[in-house]
């Protein structure tokens, strides 16, 4: 009985390791520009068999769940770290820098997942959560007279992932240039 439990536990651990390797392989491939990598390509990169990919992930929803878990694990420390600025304007500038770092890490993965979002309840839910978290964190930094109304909505738009993606991908700006644009926009909106 104990031996059977150990074998089951060992199988579960191996499956967890393989699931993680598959998610990391998928993240790497997406970062490299493969928006929809094939199961064969993912399996090869992860060092597992094609059948393992299909056994552990019955659909893309599961792969995106695992990829999302990896990204949350990577980004959470930066997101939850306390802001250090003495004034709300200094803290707002910190938000610009933090979002730039996080958004740049997220850019290829979020762009790929956004292509699938409308077919995935999970991705839709996570997108809404991310948007809400960003709005809430911004609102907490701002004084009451800026934290509501059109000024807030304009700041939220300027500091959104969508704005970052446009600056980096469509407008072709470097991260440093994009940060400069966001700083300029936020300063103009709160002056």
**Residues 63 and 104 occupy one common structural domain:** yes
pLDDT at 3: 66
**Residues 67 and 54 occupy one common structural domain:** no
Query: What distance in Å separates the CA atoms of residue 180 and residue 107, rounded to the nearest whole number?
Result: 18
Query: What distance in Å separates the CA atoms of residue 2 and residue 33, rounded to the nearest whole number?
Result: 47
pLDDT at 67: 82
Query: pTM for this one?
Result: 0.79
Provide the 10 A C-beta neighbour count for residue 15: 13
Question: For residue 171, what are its two tokens?
Answer: 């407008």
Question: For residue 20, what are its two tokens?
Answer: 């993680």
pLDDT at 6: 60
Residue pLDDT, tens place only, 98-119: 999 999 988 888 877 887 788 8
Question: Which phi and psi angles does 26 have, rounded to 5°?
Answer: -60, -45
**Residues 45 and 79 occupy one common structural domain:** no
Question: For residue 107, what are its two tokens?
Answer: 């850019």
pLDDT at 74: 85
pLDDT at 103: 93
Total domains in the chain come to 2
Query: What distance in Å separates the CA atoms of residue 162 and residue 168, rounded to the nearest whole number?
Result: 10
Domain that holds residue 10: 1-58
**Residues 76 and 25 occupy one common structural domain:** no
Q: Going residue by residue through the chain (191 aa), what tens digit of pLDDT does each one get?
A: 666 656 667 788 888 888 888 888 888 888 888 877 888 888 999 999 888 888 888 777 777 788 888 888 888 888 889 999 999 999 999 999 999 999 998 888 887 788 778 888 888 898 899 899 999 999 999 999 898 889 999 999 999 999 999 999 999 999 999 999 999 999 999 98
**Residues 32 and 98 occupy one common structural domain:** no
Q: Is 33 left (phi over 0), alpha (psi -120 to 50) or beta?
A: left
What is the chain's alpha carbon radius of gyration, rounded to the nearest angstrom? 20
**Residues 96 and 169 occupy one common structural domain:** yes
**Residues 48 and 66 occupy one common structural domain:** no
């Amino acid at each position: 009985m104990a031996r059977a439990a150990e074998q089951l536990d060992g199988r579960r651990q191996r499956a967890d390791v393989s699931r993680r390797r598959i998610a990391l392989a998928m993240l790497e491939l997406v970062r490299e520009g493969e928006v929809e990598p094939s199961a064969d390509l993912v399996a090869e990169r992860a060092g597992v068999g094609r059948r393992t990919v299909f056994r552990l992930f019955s659909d893309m929803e599961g792969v995106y769940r695992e990829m999302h878990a990896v990204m949350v694990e990577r980004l959470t420390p930066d997101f939850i770290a306390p802001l250090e600025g003495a004034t709300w304007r200094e803290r707002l500038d910190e938000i610009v820098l933090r979002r730039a770092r996080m958004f740049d890490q997220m850019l290829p993965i979020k762009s790929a997942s956004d292509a699938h979002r409308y077919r995935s309840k999970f991705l839709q839910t996570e997108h809404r959560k991310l948007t809400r978290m960003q709005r809430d964190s911004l609102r907490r930094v701002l004084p009451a007279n800026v934290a509501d109304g059109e000024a807030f909505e304009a700041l939220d738009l300027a500091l959104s992932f969508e704005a970052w993606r446009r600056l980096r991908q469509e407008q072709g700006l470097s991260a440093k240039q994009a940060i400069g644009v966001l700083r300029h926009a936020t300063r103009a909106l709160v002056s």
